[in-house]
Amino acid sequence: MKTVWIAITLLLIVLVGAFSLFFYTTALYSQLQDSLHRIHHAAEKGDWTAAQRESEQLKEIWTRTDASWTPIMDHRQVDHLDESLARVLKLAELQNREELLVELVVAMRQAKRIIDTEVPSLRNIF
C-alpha cells in the first residue's frame, strides 16, 4: 500500500509541475504577444518614440521568455523566434516601417506556433 501512495504522490507532483509550467509559459507568451502588438500599433501610427520604448520592454520580456522556453521547447522554433525578434528590434531602431510591420507579423505567428505545440491535447501527446 505504501508503494501505491508513493506512486500517486509522484504522479501528482509531475502533474502539478506540468500544469504550473504550462501556465507560466502561457503568461510569458501573453506578455510577448502584447508587447509585439504595442510595437505594431506604434509603428502603424509612426510613433517611433513609443516603438523604441516598447522595444526595450520586448528585450526584457524576451530575456525571461528565452531563458524559460529554451530548456523545455523545440530549440529550432525558439531560435527562429529569437532571430525574428532581433530583426524586429533592429528595424524599430532603424524606423523601417514596412519591414518592421512584416517582421512583427512573422514573430507573432512564430510565437503562436510555439505555444500551440505546448497546449495539452491528444495531438501533442501522440
Domain with 89, as residue range(s), is 25-125
Give backbone dihedrals phi and psi of 39, rounded to 5 degrees, phi first.
-65, -40
Helix H, strand E, coil C: the string for the chain is CHHHHHHHHHHHHHHHHHHHHHHHHHHHHHHHHHHHHHHHHHHHHCCHHHHHHHHHHHHHHHHHHHHHHCCCCCHHHHHHHHHHHHHHHHHHHHCCHHHHHHHHHHHHHHHHHHHHHHCCCHHHHC
Residue 20 lies in a domain: no
Specify the CATH number for the domain of residue 54: 1.20.120
> What Cα–Cα distance (Å) separates residue 118 from each residue in 10, 72, 124?
22, 10, 7
Residue 71 lies in a domain: yes
Grid look-up 520580456 returns 61
Task: Give mean pLDDT, residues 15-22.
Answer: 87
Instruction: Give me the number of domains the chain comprises.
Output: 1
* pLDDT above 80: residue 104: yes
pTM, full prediction = 0.85
* pLDDT value of residue 2: 87
* pLDDT value of residue 74: 86
* pLDDT value of residue 122: 60
Digit-coded pLDDT (tens) for 30-86:
999 999 999 999 999 999 999 999 999 999 999 999 999 989 888 899 999 999 999
Q: What is the percent of the chain where pLDDT is above 70?
A: 94
Residue 83 lies in a domain: yes
Residue 6 lies in a domain: no
Confidence of residue 1 (pLDDT cuts 50, 70, 90): confident
Residue 17 lies in a domain: no
